[in-house]
């Protein structure tokens, strides 16, 4: 990397963290959709997404790995104004081989509340841009015993988890906050919203009240590594028995290509 890259100097870029299984980029259609939205929002020159997919799959070794693709607006002169014809910087890096927690057997995440607010900006909401200080600070401020923490925005709205999207379960109904003002439009979130009905699970995009959060039958956090991982609110009641429909949904996401 050069020291005048706008990704470093201004956070002027995007990334994707892709689960690659046996050199196959899982849920690529959802990654591609989010990446294209981000490129459009930032006004980047056109990229060939299938070529990028090839780079991601080529970087991965055997087994299961997370591969990070980073795209920046490349080098530029000083100041906020980008060059007229930016040369996009592409970085692809593969993590170590890993085994993801089995959705049925994993210990529920213990979820608290972060004191760090989620940034609100409708121009940036949903896209996975490089400015991730909300998440870094929230992660640093997890309290003893927390495996996750919920971020609220400055208006107090329950927005997301530190490392993924947040979900409430009410019977076989799932509720997740909107991502058009804050947070990231997760690929697993998009998959669940699209597929849940096939499993007899209904979904709703809404900012949950505290009362609704406290009364939920269970919580989940979704990201590329965890899939849709179960959690419990610290100080809340124990998670109630999970309906078979949810178990089947989580298993299908775990195995989804």
CA distance 17 to 252: 20
Does 135 engage in binding with its own copies (CB under 8 A)? yes
For residue 9, the minimal CB distance to its own copies (Å) is 7
Q: Shortest Cβ distance from residue 126 to its own copies (Å)?
A: 13
**Residue 4 has which token pair?**
């005048």
Does 154 participate in binding its own copies (rule CB under 8 A)? yes
- Nearer to its own copies by C-beta: 11 or 61? 11
Q: Are 187 and 127 in contact (CB under 8 A)?
A: no
Nearer to its own copies, 93 or 241 (CB): 93
Nearer to its own copies, 95 or 101 (CB): 95
Asked if residue 86 lies in contact with residue 73, where contact means CB atoms within 8 angstroms, the answer is yes
Of these, 46, 48, 80, 145, which contacts its own copies (CB under 8 A)?
80
Q: Which of 47, 70, 203, 247 binds its own copies (CB under 8 A)?
A: 70
Q: Does 145 bind its own copies (CB under 8 A)?
A: no
- The token pair at 60 is 């991965």
Quickly count: other Cβ atoms within 10 Å of residue 125's Cβ. 19
The one among 117, 177, 186, 227 contacting its own copies by CB under 8 A? 117
Strand 173-176 versus strand 202-205 pairing type: parallel
Contacts of residue 203, Cβ cutoff 8 Å, sequence gap at least 6:
173, 174, 175, 176, 192, 193, 196, 197
Cα-flanking dihedrals φ and ψ of residue 226, to 5°? -85, -20
Residue 86 CA, chain-centre distance (Å), reads 27
CB of 210 to its own copies, least distance (A): 19
75 binds its own copies (CB under 8 A): no
Tell me which of 85, 123, 144, 211 binds its own copies, using CB under 8 A: 123
Nearest alpha carbon to residue 232 among 130, 108, 65, 133: 108
How near is the Cβ of 233 to its own copies at its closest, in Å?
A: 21
Task: Name the minimum Å distance from CB 22 to its own copies.
Answer: 20
Rule CB under 8 A: is residue 40 a binding residue for its own copies? no
Question: Judged by CB under 8 A, which stretch of 50-58, 129-137, 170-178, 193-201 contacts its own copies?
Answer: 129-137
Say how many residues touch its own copies, by CB under 8 A: 54
- If one asks whether residue 131 binds its own copies (CB under 8 A), the answer comes out as yes
Nearest-angstrom CA–CA distance, 197 and 212: 22
What mask, x for binding its own copies by CB under 8 A, covers residues 167 to 206? --------------x-------------------------
Q: Output the DSSP codes for 36-91.
A: HHHHHHHTPPP--HHHHHHHHHHH--SSEEEEEEEEE--B--SSSSPPSS---EEE
Q: Are 7 and 70 in contact (CB under 8 A)?
A: yes
């Amino acid at each position: 990397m050069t020291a005048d890259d706008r990704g470093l100097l201004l956070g002027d870029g995007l990334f994707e963290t892709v689960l690659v299984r046996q050199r196959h980029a899982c849920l690529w259609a959802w990654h591609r959709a989010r990446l294209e939205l981000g490129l459009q929002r930032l006004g980047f020159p056109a990229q060939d997404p299938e070529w990028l997919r090839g780079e991601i799959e080529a970087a991965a070794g055997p087994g299961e790995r997370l591969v990070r693709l980073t795209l920046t607006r490349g080098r530029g002169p000083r100041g906020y104004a980008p060059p007229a014809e930016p040369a996009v910087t592409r970085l692809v890096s593969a993590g170590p081989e890993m085994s993801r927690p089995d959705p049925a057997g994993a210990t529920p995440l213990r979820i608290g509340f972060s004191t760090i607010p989620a940034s609100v900006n409708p121009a940036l909401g949903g896209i996975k841009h490089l400015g991730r200080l909300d998440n870094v600070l929230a992660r640093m401020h997890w309290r003893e015993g927390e495996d996750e923490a919920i971020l609220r925005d400055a208006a107090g709205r329950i927005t997301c988890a530190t490392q993924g999207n947040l979900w409430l379960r009410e019977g076989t109904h799932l509720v997740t906050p909107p991502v058009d003002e804050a947070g990231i439009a997760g690929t697993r979130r998009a998959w669940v919203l699209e597929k849940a009905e096939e499993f007899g699970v209904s979904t709703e995009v809404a900012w949950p009240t505290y009362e609704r959060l406290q009364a939920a039958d269970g919580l989940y956090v979704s990201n590329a590594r965890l899939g849709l991982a179960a959690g419990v609110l610290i100080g809340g009641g124990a998670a109630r028995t999970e309906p078979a429909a949810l178990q089947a949904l989580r298993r299908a996401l775990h195995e989804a290509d």
